[in-house]
Amino acid sequence: MIFGEPWFLAVLLPVVAFCLWSRSRRRAVVDGGSAQVFGGLPRSWRVRTAWLPGVALLLSAAMIVVALARPQEGREETRVLTEGIDIMLVVDISSSMTRAGMEKGVPNIDVVRSVVTEFVGARTDDRLGLVSFARLPRTVCPLTLDNSAVLQHLRDLDCVQSNGPDDGTAIGAALGHAARKLRDSDAASKIIVLLTDGEENQFVVPVEDTAALCKDLGIKVYTVGAGVVLASDVFGNVREADLDTTLLEHVAETTGGQFYRARTAQVLEQVYESIDELEKTEREDLRYTDYIDLYPWWLVPAALLLALELLLHRGPYLESTS
């Protein structure tokens, strides 16, 4: 509870003091002899309640002062305005993602799934979608505000069979597919986060063309080259080779995003944390407070107490003149 005119409370003490002083002047003076003569007589109800008018007057005056101070009860409402961001998560599910490399003994797809899950869980005010790709891209989950749906589809994400008909790495096609999903978006910001552990080997849709398309549509693309590339030499020895990230860097530079190289799970976590910080949703809290005046709850009892004081105080006079 608050007071609309709190300065009225400053007169509460003087008013109470005046009421006490005024009441004390009305007391009848009985000398000691009279007290001895009449002291043994039965006490009437008027004598027994002689203190009541003073208390009623005191409480009435205090309540009137509180009512003048306009006690109010506030009901606060908060509205949050957000400039939403639409984010398409594009994840490579080619057979190479089943290899361990980012974390010992753990398939890369499991590492990626864990890190992306944390990223999704932190984006509570944005629409997110999920696209997977190998030889061909596929919409796993369309743009939605339901994070739980995205997380469920993310948990069900599986890699394609090695050397099967669906195996491959079609970065250009995946990027174009995600861009089409964002084309009609009216969000303040449109983002694609594309992760792959390989190099383009399908060449159905040129990566350069889809990067230009994203730029024209105002879509910013963050590209992540994840894991390590293993290659065999002529003697059958397996060694780590450099991942050609030229196309990934070109996409990020063309669209105004950034390219990241994440060889380990720890670095991959830092990459998604960095993207999360760069693409924060703008929030604006608007607070509305609705106040209800409570002075009637003080004024009405004050009036009733004042009436009671007058009735009790004037009662003997009215009785004596009847």
What average pLDDT does this structure show over 273-287?
A: 75
270, 258 in Cβ contact below 8 A? Answer: no
% of the chain at pLDDT higher than 90 = 44
Q: Which residues of 150-170 are buried (b: 16+ CB within 10 A; e: fewer)?
A: bbebbeebebbeeeeeebbbb
* Amino acid 20: pLDDT: 67
More confident site: 22 or 283: 22
The model's confidence at residue 82, banded by pLDDT at 50, 70 and 90, is low
Domain boundaries, the chain: 2-75+288-321, 85-280
The model's confidence at residue 322, banded by pLDDT at 50, 70 and 90, is very low
pLDDT tens-digit readout, 108-162: 999 999 999 999 998 888 899 999 999 999 999 999 999 999 999 999 999 999 9
For 31, the token pair is 């000398």
Q: List the CATH code of the domain at 85-280.
A: 3.40.50.410
Amino acid at 255: T
Closest CA to 257 of 193, 321, 311: 193
193, 222 in Cβ contact below 8 A? Answer: yes
% of the chain at pLDDT higher than 70 = 73
Residue 273 has pLDDT above 70, yes or no: yes
Closest CA to 58 of 316, 230, 305: 305
More confident site: 56 or 254: 254
More confident site: 192 or 52: 192
pTM for the structure as a whole: 0.63
For 213, the token pair is 């398309």
The model's confidence at residue 198, banded by pLDDT at 50, 70 and 90, is confident
**Mean pLDDT, rounded, of the chain:** 81
Q: According to DSSP H, which parts of the chain are helical?
A: 12-25, 32-38, 45-48, 52-68, 108-122, 147-155, 171-182, 207-216, 246-255, 265-278, 296-321
* Amino acid 136: pLDDT: 95
pLDDT tens-digit readout, 158-191: 999 998 999 999 999 999 999 999 998 888 899 9
More confident site: 226 or 63: 226
The model's confidence at residue 65, banded by pLDDT at 50, 70 and 90, is confident
Closest CA to 307 of 14, 54, 19, 56: 56
d(CA 245, CA 171): 12
Closest CA to 215 of 259, 257, 187: 257
